[in-house]
């Protein structure tokens, strides 16, 4: 009797459940069932395909071992081995070939709208669960390529997975972190910095050791120890020239070599990280991160005429997360790049009205982006006070002008509040002229906007008045005498705001 389509689908679902249960119960004995499950993922019914993908995901997550599988060489295959070893080799080779076919299937299906989200979810789940296993590079590349996807669900899935790799390095020993950061750097370069901000914002989940930017003290000690040990070995070799001793030495070397190999295998299996290896990986990661940040800054500063047509849209989607990252890792920036960094920030902070008049200047930045540049410049200075001697006057000038350019609905209020705090309030003594100028500007600002903005401005005014005693004269009423009224300190605004008069002589 022929089954209806609905009955056939129910039978396939039951078959999938049966095969998956058998695999989970005894993977080594039932590994052949995984090929049947793969075959069912080629079904014409989309519901069956999705169910088979999810079933295979559950199976692989459960049966994948905690080590990378190394298939035997031709020489090893020719050697006689026990039945147990043969069974294990068959199991590992079948598992590896099925896993490879499954990944290829997912990569292919993610290009189809119907299966895209399911396929990407499976890829992300596998990368987060088994980042140590074979074909990691293929898996990582598939996820990283989607971190700037137009589909919000896909993009958030991929970004969350990459962040989990950065925060859970115990699963992979830090190797995946280096690879992921380099892939993102290449992606930013290939797309001329025109990606979704989330693709660079993932860098903010990275963490580095405090001493990563400092020279390693143990290097000289290690070199000295190596020299001493080499001298000792030379001395013993000169003393022991007998054939018997040579044989013993050879035997010891073989034992030592075997022990080193076992130790290396153990480290690979347990993902234990040597301190020097960890330092090396973190240095490589940090280098790729700052390379990406500086590329984004240079792109934002670069004149429009020098950009390619493909990237001449004028937008800077990656600038905000780039500036946030520079501010977060400011203490790790190499001092050799500090002058160029401050020059770029100064240029970007002043990138407003100039862009309107010159076709060769870079695209006009928003008030929020220019505020970020000022904030980051001060963070960099605060974290490198002992090594830097940079005049921040230009940033104060730009910030002074930006205060009245701020608009509540268009710009980010928290950025303005942070700029007020870090530039005017945080343990910084200002001269009287600058303090008075900002007090006047902020009181004017407080009259023009809502309660939240006014409160932030007036708190800053209060701080400046408390820090600068002489500025409290601004709170006094105008002096009575004409000679002491301080009239020379203000401009004759009356000429500019006076209405037109009826008499031509007056006009």
For CA atoms 73, 77, 82, 86, the dihedral sign is positive
Locate 400 and state its tokens: 């002074």
The helix or strand, by DSSP H or E, that contains position 79, with its residue range, turns out to be none
**The predicted structure's pLDDT at residue 197:** 96
CA distance 161 to 141: 12
Question: Which DSSP string do the residues of 261-313 spell out, in sequence order?
Answer: HHHHHHHHHHT---HHHHHHHHHHHHHHHHHHHHHHHHHHHS-GGGS-GGGTT
Neighbours of 112 (CB within 10 A): 10
Contact in structure between 310 and 359 (CB atoms under 8 Å): no
- What's the length of the chain? 507
Nearest Cα neighbor of 142 from 163, 160, 156, 121 is: 121
CA distance 126 to 129: 5
* Domain spans, the chain: 1-129, 135-210+278-299
Contact in structure between 90 and 59 (CB atoms under 8 Å): no
Residues 6+ apart with CB under 8 A from 468: 430, 432, 435, 436
Contact in structure between 154 and 117 (CB atoms under 8 Å): yes
CA distance 135 to 284: 22
Print pLDDT tens along the chain (507 aa). 577 888 888 999 999 999 999 999 999 999 999 999 999 999 888 999 999 999 999 999 999 999 999 988 888 888 888 889 999 999 999 999 999 999 999 999 999 999 999 999 999 999 999 999 999 999 999 999 999 999 999 999 999 999 999 999 888 888 999 999 999 999 999 999 999 999 999 999 999 987 776 655 544 455 445 555 555 555 544 444 445 555 555 666 665 666 665 555 555 555 556 788 888 999 999 999 999 999 999 999 886 445 544 454 557 899 999 999 999 999 898 888 888 899 999 999 987 544 444 444 445 788 999 999 999 999 998 887 655 677 789 999 999 999 999 988 888 889 999 999 999 988 677 888 999 999 999 999 998 888 888 999 999 999 999 988 888 888 776 555 555 555 556 665 555 565 665 556 554
Contact in structure between 411 and 366 (CB atoms under 8 Å): yes
CA distance 187 to 196: 11
Residues 6+ apart with CB under 8 A from 367: 402, 405, 406, 407, 410, 411
Q: How many alpha carbons lie under 13 Å from residue 331 in its C-beta half-sphere?
A: 10
Contact in structure between 38 and 102 (CB atoms under 8 Å): yes
**The predicted structure's pLDDT at residue 403:** 93
Nearest Cα neighbor of 394 from 345, 321, 437 is: 345
Locate 143 and state its tokens: 């996820």
């Amino acid at each position: 009797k022929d089954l209806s389509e609905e009955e056939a689908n129910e039978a396939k679902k039951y078959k999938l459940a049966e095969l998956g249960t058998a695999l989970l119960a005894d993977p080594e004995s039932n590994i052949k069932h995984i090929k049947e499950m793969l075959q069912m993922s080629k079904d014409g019914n989309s519901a069956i395909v999705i169910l088979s993908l999810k079933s295979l995901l559950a199976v692989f997550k459960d049966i994948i071992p905690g080590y990378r599988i190394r298939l035997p060489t031709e020489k090893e295959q020719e050697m006689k081995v026990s039945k147990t070893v043969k069974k294990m080799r068959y199991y590992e080779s079948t598992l590896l070939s099925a896993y490879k076919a499954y990944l290829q299937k997912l990569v292919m299906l993610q290009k189809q709208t119907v299966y895209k989200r399911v396929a990407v979810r499976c890829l992300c789940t596998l990368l987060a669960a088994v980042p140590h296993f074979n074909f990691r590079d293929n898996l990582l590349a598939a996820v990283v390529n989607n971190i700037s996807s137009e589909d919000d669900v896909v993009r958030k899935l991929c970004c969350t997975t990459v962040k989990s790799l950065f925060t859970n390095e115990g699963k992979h020993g830090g190797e995946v972190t280096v690879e992921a950061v380099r892939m993102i750097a290449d992606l930013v370069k290939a797309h001329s910095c025109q990606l979704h901000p989330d693709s660079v914002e993932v860098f903010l989940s990275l963490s580095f050791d405090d001493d990563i930017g400092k020279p390693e003290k143990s290097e000289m000690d290690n070199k000295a120890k190596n020299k001493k040990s080499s001298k000792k070995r030379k001395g013993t070799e000169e003393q022991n020239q007998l054939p018997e001793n040579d044989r013993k030495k050879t035997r010891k070397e073989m034992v030592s070599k075997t022990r080193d190999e076992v130790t290396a295998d153990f480290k690979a299996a347990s993902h234990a990280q040597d301190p020097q290896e960890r330092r090396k990986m973190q240095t490589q990661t940090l280098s790729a991160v700052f390379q990406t940040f500086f590329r984004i800054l240079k792109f934002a500063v670069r004149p429009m005429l020098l950009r390619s047509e493909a990237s001449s849209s004028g937008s800077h989607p990656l600038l905000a997360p780039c500036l946030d990252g520079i501010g977060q890792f400011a203490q790790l920036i190499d001092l050799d790049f500090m002058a160029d960094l401050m020059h770029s920030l100064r240029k970007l902070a002043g990138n407003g009205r100039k862009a309107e008049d010159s076709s060769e200047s870079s695209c006009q930045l928003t008030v929020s982006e220019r505020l970020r540049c000022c904030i980051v410049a001060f963070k960099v200075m605060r974290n490198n006070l002992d090594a830097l001697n940079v005049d921040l006057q230009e940033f104060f000038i730009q910030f002074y002008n930006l205060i009245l350019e701020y608009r509540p609905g268009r710009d980010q209020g928290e950025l303005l509040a942070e700029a007020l705090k870090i530039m005017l309030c945080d343990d910084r003594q200002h001269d009287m002229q600058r303090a008075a100028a900002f007090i006047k500007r902020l009181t004017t600002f407080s009259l023009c906007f809502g309660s939240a903005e006014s409160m932030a401005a007036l708190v800053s005014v209060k701080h400046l008045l408390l820090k600068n005693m002489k500025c409290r004269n601004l709170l006094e009423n105008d002096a009575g005498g004409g000679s002491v009224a301080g009239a020379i300190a203000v401009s004759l605004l009356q000429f500019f705001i006076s209405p037109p008069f009826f008499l031509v002589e007056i006009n």
